[in-house]
């Protein structure tokens, strides 16, 4: 089976190293400028040690299974670069909401599933990442025909030593991850702390709980049924990825755009539409936007 991983950031480097080191046929698709560095191999350190030499390409080759791991705001352009064959399955693994729908609007609903990953991976340099929190990848699709084909993705991940689970309700799984990301990512980006440190400062722990409570009101209004306690889940992810620097902290440290629009920004947008106030999320979104503006000016 021909597998491609699109995006050579933290998650894409991690997945490609794991899939490729298990002997599977993997192409890592990256930006032109990273092709040379990645050609020397991809390396995972930390909780797991792996070195692998996937094929490296600047454009996606014909593939049976594609994992898209780019930032939420780049999913549209990544999808436009994909040529799907009749059986190609595209799994979009991303933070926030709306990414798989965006890809499906370009590639067709019959090709696209979503993935949710809780792994804490820090990008060190092109081709090098450190794994500091390791959990399962949850897979699912709102399209019954795609849902039936997800075993292919699950098996590829499991063969690579990655835990994977297929959920019948991917929207609930995305919200469950969202509760963690909206608390962890902006607070760590604003303070420079690692994920777990939020729990060591009572005021930050309380702020995290308030941010999540607002989102939980919004999700209830939208009829999302999650099986977990949203605040407890966010705290659990902080503990599970204790020493990780969140992706948003990594983004602001590198002066990059963040995923705030797909995270807290999305909660505010959905809250406004549903008539639910989200003052904590509004403030947090504005503060992160302020950091982004400083970097872009």
Q: Does 237 bind ligand KPL (CB under 6 A)?
A: yes
SS3 158: helix
Q: Of the two residues 82 and 91, which places its CB atom closer to ligand KPL in the complex?
A: 91
Distance of alpha carbon 60 from alpha carbon 207, whole angstroms: 42
Q: Of the two residues 141 and 235, which places its CB atom closer to ligand KPL in the complex?
A: 235
The total of other beta-carbon atoms located within 10 Å of residue 264's CB is: 32
Q: What angle do CA 105, 71, 146 make, to 5 degrees?
A: 40
Q: What angle do CA 249, 101, 250 make, to 5 degrees?
A: 10
CA 256 from chain center: how many Å?
A: 16
SS3 123: strand
Minimum CB–partner distance for residue 186 and ligand KPL (Å): 11
Segment contacting ligand KPL by CB under 6 A, of 20-28, 37-45, 179-187, 223-231: 179-187
Q: Does 180 bind ligand KPL (CB under 6 A)?
A: yes
Q: Of the two residues 3 and 235, which places its CB atom closer to ligand KPL in the complex?
A: 235
Q: Of the two residues 111 and 128, which places its CB atom closer to ligand KPL in the complex?
A: 128
Rg (Cα) of the chain, in Å, rounded? 18
Q: Which of 137, 216, 244, 258 binds ligand KPL (CB under 6 A)?
A: 244
Q: Does 233 bind ligand KPL (CB under 6 A)?
A: no
Q: Which of 195, 264, 278, 285 binds ligand KPL (CB under 6 A)?
A: 195
Q: Does 181 bind ligand KPL (CB under 6 A)?
A: yes
Question: CA torsion, points 25, 29, 32, 34, in degrees to nearest 10?
Answer: -80
Residues 68-97 contacting ligand KPL, CB under 6 A: 95
Residue 172's H or E segment, with its range, is helix 170-191
Q: Does 21 bind ligand KPL (CB under 6 A)?
A: no
| Residues engaged in binding ligand KPL (CB under 6 A) | 95, 118, 120, 180-181, 184-185, 195, 237, 241, 244, 246-247
């Amino acid at each position: 089976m021909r597998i491609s991983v699109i995006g050579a950031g933290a998650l894409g480097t991690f997945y490609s190293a794991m899939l490729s080191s298990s002997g599977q046929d993997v192409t890592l698709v990256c930006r032109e400028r990273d092709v040379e560095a990645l050609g020397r191999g991809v390396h995972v350190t930390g909780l797991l040690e792996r070195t692998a030499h996937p094929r490296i390409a600047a454009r996606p080759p014909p593939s049976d299974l594609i994992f898209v791991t780019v930032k939420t705001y780049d999913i549209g352009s990544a999808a436009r670069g994909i040529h799907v064959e009749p059986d190609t399955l595209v799994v979009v693994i991303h933070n926030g909401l709306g990414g798989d729908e965006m890809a499906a609007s370009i590639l067709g609903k019959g090709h696209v599933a979503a993935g949710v990953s809780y792994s804490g991976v820090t990008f060190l340099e092109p081709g090098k990442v450190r794994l500091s929190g390791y959990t399962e990848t949850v897979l699912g699709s709102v399209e019954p025909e795609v849902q039936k084909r997800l075993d292919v993705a699950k098996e590829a991940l499991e063969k690579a030593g990655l835990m994977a689970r297929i959920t019948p309700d991917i929207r609930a799984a995305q919200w469950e991850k969202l509760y963690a990301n909206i608390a962890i990512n902006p607070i760590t980006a604003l303070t420079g702390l690692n994920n777990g440190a939020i729990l060591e400062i009572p005021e930050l722990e309380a702020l995290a709980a308030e941010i999540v409570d607002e989102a939980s009101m919004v999700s209830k209004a939208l009829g999302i049924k999650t099986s977990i306690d949203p605040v407890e889940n966010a705290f659990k992810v902080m503990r599970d990825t204790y020493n990780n620097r969140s992706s948003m902290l990594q983004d602001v440290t590198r002066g990059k755009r963040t995923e705030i629009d797909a995270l807290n920004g999305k909660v505010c947008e959905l809250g406004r539409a549903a008539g639910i106030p989200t003052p904590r999320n509004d403030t947090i979104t504005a503060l992160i936007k302020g950091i982004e503006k400083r970097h872009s000016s």
